[in-house]
Structure 1
Amino acid sequence: MDVKVVIPARYGSSRLPGKPLLMLLGKPVIWHVVERCKEAGIGRDNIFVATDDQRIIEALKDYDINVVLTSLSHQSGTDRINEVAAIKSWSDEVVVLNVQGDEPIIPFTLIQNITAFTLANPHYQITTAVVPLTNQDDFTNSNVVKAILGNHGRAIYFTRSRAPMNRDNPNDLSLAKRHIGIYAYRVSALKQFCSYSEDELEHYEKLEQLRALSHGMIIGVTVFNGIVPHGIDTIDDFNNIKRIMKESNSLNG
């Protein structure tokens, strides 16, 4: 099965402009994301950075990374990925992984996990990942997205609210899962998803995956039992990841 990775990299982030090109250990953030994908066993020729800005293209010229210039008008990374699939004329059966461009220390084992899960479960139109949610602070935090799973890993809903809630024991988090923003789709499902306009629930919760569920698309979820660090949304996030990577590099060096 043909597997591609597309990494959306928008220059104009409202909270941290230019973050794909911020430097970590002498390399841009986006370079590190590509390296994690390569560590997962994805060949360089199957990894693509999708950007809307010439500055990112120029900055990556010396790194032997495939970069595709996409439209400035896209409302989401999924739309950007869909354009790359169209530009490259990928067939409907090609599996495309959407790896976020602001996660330079995403575990390569997570990428391997969702790839294997997707290939083993072709009945799911979209696949994504969760980790067990283990503390009440995260459970009540609206910035932590919760995934509610049914049988066989099928997603029932995603929400910013506390869910699922054990009525008899509100402190019970045994079914609580934190959603991780990594997705895989066959190109046919990607086209279908991008044919829909923004959904009412999606707009309400500000969660794009609700558009798919509202239109009856089937999302499968794999549970990853490792640690998935938070990505880079703010300068504090960037400084925290820089510290983690420096400490790790020092230990390994």
Structure 2
Amino acid sequence: MSDFVVLIPARLSSSRLPNKALADIHGKPMVVRVAERARLSKASRVVVATDHADIQAACQAHGIEVVLTATDHESGTTRLAEAASILNLAENDYVVNVQGDEPLIEPELINAVAAQLQQSCAPMATAAHLLTDYADFIDANCVKVVLNSQHNALYFSRAAIPWPRELMRSGAEIMPKDIPVYRHIGIYGYRVQFLHQYADLTPSPLEQAESLEQLRVLWHGFNIAVQITPLAPASGVDTAADLERVRASWPDILK
């Protein structure tokens, strides 16, 4: 596998959990814990891209490479495009975007997404896992993805897709058995050239309707390669309850 860089977008403001990136997890800020997990992958470099001096200082205090980016980015993806420019990454370099609220991220998942990107002709890659729970299938907070025969994404949605018509007509609240249902995992790989190109793409109506920025890529005709991972990853941190769950499981989950 060729070298790749992990970039971690981390902004200070968070509507559901104020100052989330700096939340303490057993003596270190969450963003530092994320970077430490990413360092266990095969990445040649791990860099935090932030909008705030407090996060920058926290990273520097723990020996984590960090760059300070603009405060007005519409998404983590455009923040990473700026970070790639600051770091002078080459157009043919590979970047994996690890979210700054994923302190339990598996290093092997990072490696798998990087490998999927490098093996594919697609300019972007992501991951998914097989969904087996009906409640998740119909949950709008659980994003699903439908694939083509080359394991490229056809569509992402908060709706239940693919829709097994006859099964759903029957009223049976069970998962379809004749076609796989995949849950999208929010980790992305990019070729740096495309990362810069994405920053110039106009938002799409599908992206705005579903509130899923990856739909901008499909709308403009680009492929997203999807790595299927056998296990569901640990959940990220969105709320105070999520943070307490991570704190409680921290000593055991990393054994």
Q: Give the TM-score taking structure 1 as reference length.
A: 0.94
Task: Give 2:83's aligned amino acid.
Answer: V
Task: Give 1:29's aligned amino acid.
Answer: M
Distance 2:3 2:110 in 1: 15
Residue 18, structure 1, aligned to residue 19, structure 2? yes
Distance 2:97 2:26 in 1: 24
Residue 199, structure 1, aligned to residue 204, structure 2? yes
CA deviation vs aligned residue, 1:160-218 (integer Å, no higher than 9, x gap): 00011222334316411110010001011111111112211111000000000000011
Q: Secondary structure at the match of 1:113?
A: helix
Deviation at 1:42, TM superposition (A): 1.9
Q: Secondary structure at the match of 1:203?
A: helix
Task: Give 1:33's aligned amino acid.
Answer: V
In 2, are the aligned partners of 1:25 and 1:246 still within 8 Å (CA)? Answer: no
The correspondence for 1:232, drawn from 231, 237, 252, is: 237
Residue 88, structure 1, aligned to residue 111, structure 2? no
Q: 1:166 to 1:240 in 2, by over 3 A?
A: same
Runs of 5+ unmatched residues, structure 1: none
Q: 2:187 aligns to what?
A: 182
Q: Which runs of 4+ in 1 moved over 6 A?
A: none
Deviation at 1:60, TM superposition (A): 1.9
The correspondence for 1:166, drawn from 164, 167, 173, is: 164
Deviation at 1:241, TM superposition (A): 1.1
In 2, are the aligned partners of 1:11 and 1:19 still within 8 Å (CA)? Answer: yes
Distance 2:243 2:251 in 1: 12
Q: Secondary structure at the match of 2:56?
A: helix
Distance 2:150 2:94 in 1: 21
Distance 2:25 2:14 in 1: 18
Task: Give 1:147's aligned amino acid.
Answer: V
In 1, are the aligned partners of 2:3 and 2:43 still within 8 Å (CA)? Answer: no
Residue 143, structure 1, aligned to residue 141, structure 2? yes
Distance 1:134 1:240 in 2: 23
Deviation at 1:247, TM superposition (A): 4.0
Q: 2:29 aligns to what?
A: 28
In 2, are the aligned partners of 1:126 and 1:186 still within 8 Å (CA)? Answer: yes
Distance 2:180 2:164 in 1: 9
In 1, are the aligned partners of 2:23 and 2:30 still within 8 Å (CA)? Answer: yes
Alignment of 1:92-131 (within 5 A): 92-121=91-120, 123-131=121-129
Deviation at 1:248, TM superposition (A): 3.8
The correspondence for 2:227, drawn from 209, 219, 222, is: 222
Instruction: Give me the CA root mean square deviation.
Output: 1.3
Q: Secondary structure at the match of 1:232?
A: coil
Deviation at 1:22, TM superposition (A): 0.8
Distance 1:127 1:141 in 2: 24
In 1, are the aligned partners of 2:94 and 2:191 still within 8 Å (CA)? Answer: yes
In 2, are the aligned partners of 1:198 and 1:211 still within 8 Å (CA)? Answer: yes
Q: 2:39 aligns to what?
A: 38
Distance 1:178 1:238 in 2: 22
Distance 2:58 2:71 in 1: 18
Identity of aligned residues (%): 38
Task: Give 2:122's aligned amino acid.
Answer: Y
Q: Give the TM-score taking structure 2 as reference length.
A: 0.93
Q: 2:171 aligns to what?
A: none
In 2, are the aligned partners of 1:6 and 1:81 still within 8 Å (CA)? Answer: yes
Deviation at 1:39, TM superposition (A): 1.1
